[in-house]
């Protein structure tokens, strides 16, 4: 370990000290005095000597000041310390000198920026050489952490966090390598840091969610276009078929008009009567076939239901067989378990046979070492048997539970099959009754509505034939109306065909948008899974880091992460003592103890010991235990003095 101690330190024209020398001889000390007496300046003398800063890391102007807080000119602040570094005495000196110059053509001198002189063992050094000398021990900020109690907690939280993590030596890659569940992170990160990967995924998730939110509106726009076309559930093939029929009807209607204007208008009515007579014959055939079809369909349904009932009975029988088989297996296991319990009870009371300590030939006691071997062998054999008995018993109990669950499942299935079988047989009886009833209900074709309707149309046409033979003007008017109606229908169907053609690209676009919606949601789920994996890594890293870091400290426990309401984690760096946060609620005395504990932790981890300065030591009520050189400042209404311990 690199150890630095103060033998002596000389303050000259430094803040409130005109000429003061502190002799410590490498020992700890108590600086006692009222506020403003110079206790803090003792520690600032060392930090200014080494770093040019105060105890909290701020740039320090050591110039003495008058009662009006103005610099006293003409004095050069000087700190010279005799340090012991790894057993070797080193003299280090820092002097801040005023820099006065006279500009050409002027009589008065002008003060420029002060100059700093550095000396190591009386040898002048440049600032770069001075810093390199200290850097060979540890970086400047690390030395400040281990010199000024409380300095570490003034650092920005991310810097504190990085210093603490450096103590563990754990890298993200090592954490991932140790946990198979995190293995996929290697491909997700692809060389990027956890933070960068999370930023990329979060940004991608936002973009995906924005795109997903926009899709319903875009789909609705296309749906509105379809609604404006008012196509409902129209089928293009059906429309085209209807159009062909309508065009054929239009041609017939036009021919009818020509026929009515040029010839006998009754011919058309006669043709219609002939067609209706044909239709009447077709309807009669349908009626006769239909009555047979009803009974045929009922017979087919009965056959199907009967087949279903047969299959359900077979399933019911098969399930009962499986239940009985499992019940037998379960019973055998229960017998085995009962036997194992009995065997276990016998093994527990089984003791070593004392007669085996005697020789079976001569009856004398066997040598002690042989007896010990026999007893040990007996105990080992008993232990193995007990262990084997317990293992077999647990397995038997587990298998009994498995069989019980399987039996319960099969019983439930059997009940379900039984219920279905009851319903099937009920339906079978209903169909059978319906078939018997249907056979008795077949009536005459002449009583049907179809027959009466067609017969009425034929009679109406026959009346028109009689009228047409006497007056064709009415027929011409009816033929013209029929033609006009046919034209309207053709035009309507042509318009529908045009609208259907317009709807094709709209439907295709909607299909594309729905596919895009599905793809985006799949991508979003994958991104959320990757983010969850990163959060899972963070949670595991939290546990590993906090455990590793807190092992370096006796009193202080660090929180590196804060749980969020959404289940995530927020990076922090908060020191705690007995559950109280350093930054909120911790007393001055507790902070002091934590500050020293933090320095001790870094000192042990980095193998470097520095002189430490502690302010407000009077607020610490418990004895202070510290391995290195410690200068404690106590605020008391006494004359300023330093007591070397």
The lowest-confidence range among 292-296, 539-543, 587-591 is: 292-296
CA atoms within 13 A on the CB side of 267: 11
The lowest-confidence range among 31-35, 180-184, 491-495, 634-638 is: 491-495
Long-range contacts of 500-506 (CB under 8 A, 24+ apart): 500/231, 500/234, 500/236, 500/239, 502/229, 503/226, 503/229, 503/231, 506/222, 506/225, 506/226
Work out the average pLDDT over 499-525: 82
Contact, 626 vs 21, CB < 8 A?
A: no
- CA–CA gap between residue 128 and residue 126 (Å, rounded): 5
Work out the average pLDDT over 18-22: 95
- Judged against a pLDDT cut of 60, whether residue 395 lies above it is answered with yes
- CA–CA gap between residue 381 and residue 139 (Å, rounded): 64
Work out the average pLDDT over 13-18: 94
Q: What is the mean pLDDT of the chain?
A: 87
- Phi/psi for 602 (5° steps) reads -65, -40
For the stretch 555-579, pLDDT in tens is 999 998 888 887 777 889 999 999 9
The lowest-confidence range among 121-125, 567-571, 576-580, 631-635 is: 567-571
Residue 619: band (very low, low, confident or very high) from pLDDT cuts 50, 70, 90 = very high
- CA–CA gap between residue 323 and residue 79 (Å, rounded): 96
Please tell me the chain's helix, strand, coil percentages from 3-state DSSP, rounded to the nearest 5: 65, 15, 20
**Beta pairing class for 2-14 and 608-609:** parallel
Question: Quick one: pLDDT at residue 269?
Answer: 74
Work out the average pLDDT over 303-309: 90
- Judged against a pLDDT cut of 60, whether residue 616 lies above it is answered with yes
Q: Is pLDDT larger for residue 175 or for residue 63?
A: 63
Q: Is pLDDT larger for residue 11 or for residue 248?
A: 11
**Beta pairing class for 109-120 and 557-563:** unpaired
The lowest-confidence range among 150-159, 381-390, 481-490 is: 481-490
Q: CA angle, 351 as apex, 348 and 354 as ends, to 5°?
A: 175
Q: Is pLDDT larger for residue 307 or for residue 500?
A: 307
Tokens matching residue 128: 């770069």
Question: Quick one: pLDDT at residue 365?
Answer: 82
Question: Quick one: pLDDT at residue 522?
Answer: 92
Question: Quick one: pLDDT at residue 291?
Answer: 62
Question: Quick one: pLDDT at residue 32?
Answer: 95
CATH for 2-153+594-644 (3.20.20, 3.40.50, 3.40.190, 1.10.3210): 3.40.50
Which element (helix H / strand E) includes 29?
strand 29-33
Work out the average pLDDT over 466-495: 76
Question: Quick one: pLDDT at residue 544?
Answer: 86
Q: Is pLDDT larger for residue 70 or for residue 452?
A: 70
Work out the average pLDDT over 194-199: 87
- Judged against a pLDDT cut of 60, whether residue 230 lies above it is answered with no
Question: Quick one: pLDDT at residue 363?
Answer: 75
Looking at residue 365, what DSSP letter applies?
A: B
Work out the average pLDDT over 380-385: 90
Work out the average pLDDT over 138-156: 95
Q: Taking the domains of the chain in order of start, what are their residue ranges?
A: 2-153+594-644, 187-241+472-549, 266-462
For the stretch 407-425, pLDDT in tens is 999 999 999 999 998 999 9
- CA–CA gap between residue 539 and residue 561 (Å, rounded): 9
Question: Quick one: pLDDT at residue 234?
Answer: 59
Work out the average pLDDT over 479-500: 79
Work out the average pLDDT over 379-397: 90
Question: Quick one: pLDDT at residue 72?
Answer: 92
Question: Quick one: pLDDT at residue 176?
Answer: 87
For the stretch 335-378, pLDDT in tens is 988 989 998 898 888 888 887 788 777 878 888 888 888 889 98
- CA–CA gap between residue 65 and residue 68 (Å, rounded): 8
Query: Exposure pattern of 91-118 as b/e (b: 16+ CB <10 Å)?
Result: ebbbbbebeeeeeeeeeeeeeeeeeebb
What's the predicted TM-score (pTM) here?
Answer: 0.53
């Amino acid at each position: 370990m690199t150890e630095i101690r103060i033998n002596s330190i000389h303050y000259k024209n430094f803040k409130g000290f005109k000429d003061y020398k502190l002799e410590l001889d490498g020992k700890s000390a108590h600086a006692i005095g009222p506020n403003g007496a110079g206790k803090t300046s003792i520690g600032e003398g060392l930090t200014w000597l080494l770093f040019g800063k105060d105890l909290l890391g701020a740039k320090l102007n050591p110039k003495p000041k008058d009662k009006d807080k103005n610099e006293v000119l003409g004095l050069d602040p000087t700190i010279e310390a005799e340090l012991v570094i790894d057993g070797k005495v080193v003299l280090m000196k820092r002097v801040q000198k005023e820099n006065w110059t006279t500009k050409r053509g002027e009589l008065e001198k002008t003060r420029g920026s002060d100059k700093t002189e550095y000396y190591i063992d009386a040898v002048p050094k440049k600032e770069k050489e001075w810093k390199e000398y200290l850097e060979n021990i540890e970086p400047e900020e690390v030395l400040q952490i281990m010199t000024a109690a409380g300095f570490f907690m003034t650092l920005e939280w991310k810097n504190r966090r990085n210093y603490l993590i450096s103590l563990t030596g754990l890298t993200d890659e090592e954490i991932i390598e140790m946990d198979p569940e995190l293995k996929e992170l290697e491909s997700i990160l692809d060389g990027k840091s956890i933070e960068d990967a999370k930023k990329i995924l979060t940004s991608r998730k936002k973009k995906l969610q924005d795109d997903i939110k926009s899709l319903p509106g875009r789909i609705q726009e296309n749906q509105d276009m379809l609604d404006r076309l008012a196509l409902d559930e129209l089928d293009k093939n059906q429309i085209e078929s209807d159009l062909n029929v309508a065009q054929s009807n239009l041609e017939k209607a036009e021919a009818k008009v020509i026929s009515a204007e040029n010839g006998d208008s009754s011919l058309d009515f006669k043709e219609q009567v002939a067609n209706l007579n044909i239709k009447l014959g077709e309807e009669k055939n349908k009626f006769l076939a239909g009555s047979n079809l009803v009974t045929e369909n009922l017979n087919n349904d009965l056959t199907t239901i009967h087949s279903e009932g047969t299959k359900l009975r077979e399933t019911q029988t098969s399930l009962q067989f499986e239940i009985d088989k499992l019940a037998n297996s379960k019973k055998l296991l229960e017998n085995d378990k009962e036997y194992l319990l009995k065997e276990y009870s016998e093994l527990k009371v089984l003791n070593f046979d004392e007669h085996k300590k005697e020789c079976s030939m001569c009856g004398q006691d066997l040598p002690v070492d042989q007896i010990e071997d026999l007893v040990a062998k007996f105990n080992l054999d008993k232990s193995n048997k007990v262990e084997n008995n317990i293992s077999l018993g647990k397995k038997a109990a587990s298998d009994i539970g498995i069989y019980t669950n399987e039996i319960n499942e099969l019983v439930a299935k059997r009940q379900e099959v039984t219920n279905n079988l009851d319903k099937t047989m009920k339906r079978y009886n209903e169909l059978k009754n319906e078939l018997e009833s249907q056979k008795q209900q077949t009536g005459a074709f002449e009583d049907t509505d179809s027959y009466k309707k067609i017969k009425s149309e034929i009679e109406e046409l026959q009346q028109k034939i009689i009228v047409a033979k006497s007056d064709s003007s009415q027929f011409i008017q009816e033929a013209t109306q029929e033609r006009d109606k046919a034209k309207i229908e053709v035009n309507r169907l042509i318009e529908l065909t045009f609208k259907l053609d317009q709807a094709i690209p709209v439907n295709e676009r909607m299909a594309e948008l729905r596919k895009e919606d599905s793809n985006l949601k799949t991508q979003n789920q994958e991104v959320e899974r990757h983010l969850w994996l990163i959060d899972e890594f963070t949670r595991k890293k939290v546990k590993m880091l906090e455990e590793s870091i807190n092992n370096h400290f006796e009193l202080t426990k660090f929180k590196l992460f804060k749980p969020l309401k959404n289940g995530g984690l927020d990076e922090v760096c908060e020191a705690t003592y007995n559950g109280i946060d350093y930054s909120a609620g911790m007393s001055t005395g507790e902070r002091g103890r934590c500050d020293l504990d933090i320095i001790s932790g870094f000192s042990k981890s980095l193998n470097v010991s520095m002189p430490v300065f502690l302010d407000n030591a009077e607020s610490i009520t418990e004895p202070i235990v510290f391995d290195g050189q410690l200068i404690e400042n106590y605020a008391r209404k006494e004359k300023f003095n330093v007591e070397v311990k």
